[in-house]
Amino acid sequence: MSKIGFIGLGIMGRPMAGHLLDAGHALVTVKRGKPLASELADKGMQELADPRAVAEQAEVIITMVPDTPDVEQVLFGENGVIEGLQPGTLVIDMSSIAPLPTQEFARRITDAGGEYVDAPVSGGEGGAINAALTIMVGATDKGFERARPILEVMGKTITHIGGHGDGQTCKVANQIVVALTIEAVAEGLLFASRAGADVAKVRESLLGGLAQSKILDVHGERMIERTFDPGFKVRLHQKDLNLALEGARTLNLALPGTANAQQLFQACAANGGADWDHAGMLRALEKLADHEVGQ
């Protein structure tokens, strides 16, 4: 068993850390302004002053924070991980951040004597709670083999995509597909509702055909039941689509569907929905149609 520093105990990070504790690993984290969640404290997780202190004690460090600047601050800011990094420490970033900075972060950690792995996840809060995440890995072969036993505690589908940054590239692609599928499901249900059909039965039928998807299953149900408490927040998906659109400009690509989905998320945010679940994109389309699904 390893001593793991786990930095980032939000909606996703908290259950992920819990699985590692249940598997017998010892965990430390950075002390925050609010008390450590009781389900983690009761299992023995300890708090330390800062990322440097975490790095001084841990063999493995996992980061699960919102955005690229947050990862950079944890790793390289004042009292950051790199200041306490021990030779051979495995640093696994499971956040969803930009691929190019990831490559630079990997170089700096490697130069300091560590081993870097980018391992963003998909599956939302449910996947984290059920240890069923899809994990997309960018690493050296050695780094992947070292990280795999730890990742297997938290995830179900673990794929070594390629070198540093390739895991993050895969995650950006994932977020494009997810956003556009949410939009497709929302438009389909909105059409059916406006036409007077029973949307619950429409969804049930679609689940048996070519339109079947996990998003139609999970988020389609959210849309019909109008339960938009976040499993994955609109503002975080906006961040991921910004990565996609910035990358597209660099690569000289047109991603019109992605740009449209981003505008719909922006409409959600403009109407107070930045912290809705991303299935709440439906509400932006409902506003355009002046019709609510099921009404």
Catalytic residue list contains 171: yes
Give the integer Cα–Cα distance in Å for 258 and 281. Answer: 13
Mean pLDDT estimate for the chain:
96
Both structure tokens of 3: 């001593």
Average pLDDT over residues 129-134: 97
Number of CB atoms found within 10 A of residue 145's CB: 11
Q: Which pLDDT band, with edges at 50, 70 and 90, does 34 fall under?
A: confident
pLDDT tier at 208, thresholds 50, 70, 90: very high
How is the chain classified by DSSP, letter by letter?
--EEEEE--STTHHHHHHHHHHTT-EEEEE--SSPPPHHHHTTT-EEESSHHHHHHH-SEEEE--SSHHHHHHHHHSTT-HHHHPPTT-EEEE-S---HHHHHHHHHHHHHTT-EEEE--EESHHHHHHTT-EEEEEE--HHHHHHHHHHHHHHEEEEEEEESTTHHHHHHHHHHHHHHHHHHHHHHHHHHHHHTT--HHHHHHHHTTSTT--HHHHHHHHHHHHT----SSBHHHHHHHHHHHHHHHHHHT---HHHHHHHHHHHHHHHTT-TTSBGGGHHHHHHHHHT--TT-
Distance CA 199, CA 222 (A): 12
* CATH H-level, domain 3-164: superfamily: NAD(P)-binding Rossmann-like Domain (3.40.50.720)
Does pLDDT of 231 surpass 90?
no
For residue 1, name the pLDDT band (cuts at 50, 70, 90): confident
Q: What is the pLDDT of residue 243?
A: 95
Strand partners for 26: 3
Give me 144's structure tokens. Answer: 């992947």
- Whether 170 shows a pLDDT value over 90: the answer reads yes
Q: Which residues pair with 93 in a beta bridge?
A: 63, 118
Rounded to an integer, the average pLDDT of 7-19 is 96
Per the CATH hierarchy, to which homologous superfamily does domain 169-289 belong?
A: N-(1-d-carboxylethyl)-l-norvaline Dehydrogenase; domain 2 (1.10.1040.10)
Per-residue buried b or exposed e for 77-96, using 16+ beta carbons within 10 Å of the residue's own CB: beebbbbbbeeebbbbbbbb
pLDDT in tens, 248-264: 999 999 999 999 999 99
Q: Which amino acid is at 142?
A: K
Looking at residue 65, its pLDDT comes to 96
Answer whether 46's CB lies under 8 Å from 30's CB: no
- pTM check: above 0.85: yes
Reported confidence tier of residue 190, pLDDT bands at 50, 70, 90 = very high
Residues 58-71 have a mean pLDDT of 97
Q: How far apart are alpha carbons 21 and 129 in whole angstroms?
A: 13
User: Domain segments of the chain: what residues?
Assistant: 3-164, 169-289
What digits encode the pLDDT tens for the residues 209-223?
999 999 999 999 999
pLDDT at 33 exceeding the cut of 90: no
pLDDT at residue 66 greater than cutoff 90: yes
Please give the average per-residue pLDDT across 73-86, as a whole number: 97
What is the rounded CA–CA span in Å between residue 245 and residue 136? Answer: 20
Query: Phi, psi (5° rounding) for residue 239?
Result: -60, -45
171, 214, 239, 287: the catalytic one is 171
Which residue, 203, 235, 237, 209, is CA-closest to 222?
Answer: 203
Given this model, what pLDDT does residue 111 score?
98
